[in-house]
Amino acid sequence: MKALEFRNNKLVLTELAIPEPPKGEALIKVSKVGICNTDIEITKGYMGFEGVLGHEFVGTVEKINSNDQTLLGKRVVGEINCGCGECESCRKGLERHCTNRTVLGIFGRNGCFAEYMYMPEHHVYHMPDNISYDEAALIEPASIAYDAFRNVSFTKDSTVAVVGTGAIGMISVWLAKYLGAGNVIMVGRRDKKLEIAKMVGADTVVNSQKTDSCSALKEMTAGKGVDMIIETSGSAAALMDSIYSVKKDGCISVISFYEKNLEDFPIDYLVLHCINLRGAAGRFGNPSAVCDIISKNPVKLTPVITHRVKFDDCLDFIKNIEKYNTGKIKVMVEF
């Protein structure tokens, strides 16, 4: 089978044997995969991973190494954090926190940039017919974004701002609107991407290169600040602005990495204004919840797919990905 593999600091398109799924795992023929920025960072040394890249996929189960054959022949997506199933975290359903876990295409487990892959059977979710292949391949990043909204409820009077026009930011806009927020604001730097944000649910957009986003958000909320901010950009400056843009007792969910500790962090302001700052990185069971939302939400997520690449061409695309960055949101690789 063809596979895109990172090994010895080199990304190569190679031929590998079709794997035999271990006991309790399913062999999946891959149909589509999304390119995530994590894939790019791995080629720069992130996590020290070597093997087949990729963790956003949809495919069809061709073989199951267990007595339960329910998913055989079914179209599926997967939960990428694969726990040991025995530790305290796994028993609580928190496999992402398992100290012995493997992560699809990121840590200890080959990923989905291959014609075939395998995953634990209980990490695989059947996709209903009303979800397209494109939508199914977006479920993994949507599952990460969904985590930002845990234990949060909105009304028509709620104002939510999302910072960052990447795929996670776009999906956060889509989710915030579906979950009932009356006013969803997207903050970004490029007008073309901001127009796509409107297509997936943004009521208002703010170009932070043309106006001060903090002042704009305060002005839109009569000076009090927004109820919630989803920070997805990975910009330290954007996180600082978020702290000053959210209301007292407001919430900031962070779905991004900053790659270094932040200096001059306004911790006293955060404490005195009772601001809830929390991280979000997905958890076991989110794909099922997202699948249900995709099935019910009349607003489609697919406008976030800005580029399509054949698998045979994805090596060249990834090597030259920087030239696509100004317009790229989600790249879909097709087999």
Structure tokens at 17: 């044997």
CA 205 – CA 201 distance, rounded (Å): 11
- Domain 2-144+283-334, CATH homologous superfamily name and number: Medium-chain alcohol dehydrogenases, catalytic domain (3.90.180.10)
For residue 294, give the 3-state DSSP assignment. Answer: helix
Q: If we measure between CA atoms, which residue out of 200, 193, 256 comes closest to residue 229?
A: 256
pLDDT in tens, the chain (335 residues): 999 999 999 999 999 999 999 999 999 999 999 999 999 999 999 889 999 999 999 999 999 999 999 999 999 999 999 988 889 988 888 888 888 999 999 999 999 999 999 999 999 999 999 999 999 999 999 999 999 999 999 999 999 999 999 999 999 999 999 999 999 999 999 999 999 999 999 999 999 999 999 999 999 999 999 999 999 999 999 999 999 999 999 999 999 988 889 888 999 999 999 999 999 988 888 999 999 999 999 999 999 999 999 999 999 999 999 899 889 999 999 99
CATH superfamily, domain 151-279, is NAD(P)-binding Rossmann-like Domain (3.40.50.720)
**Secondary structure of residue 288 in the 3-state scheme:** helix
Report the alpha-carbon distance of residue 154 to residue 176 in Å, rounded: 8
Provide the token pair at 225. Answer: 């600040």
AA letter at 206: V
CA 110 to chain centre: 19
Query: Does the fold of domain 151-279 match that of domain 2-144+283-334?
Result: no
> What phi and psi, each to the nearest 5 degrees, are found at residue 45?
110, -5
Q: Given the DSSP bridges, would you call strands 108-109 and 102-104 parallel, antiparallel or unpaired?
A: parallel
Q: Domain segments of the chain: what residues?
A: 2-144+283-334, 151-279
The DSSP H or E segment spanning 162 is strand 159-163
Phi and psi dihedrals of 213, rounded to 5?
-65, -35
Question: What SS3 class is residue 330?
Answer: strand
Amino acid letter for position 115? E
* Angstrom distance (rounded) from CA 232 to CA 134: 22
Strands 276-279 and 246-254: parallel
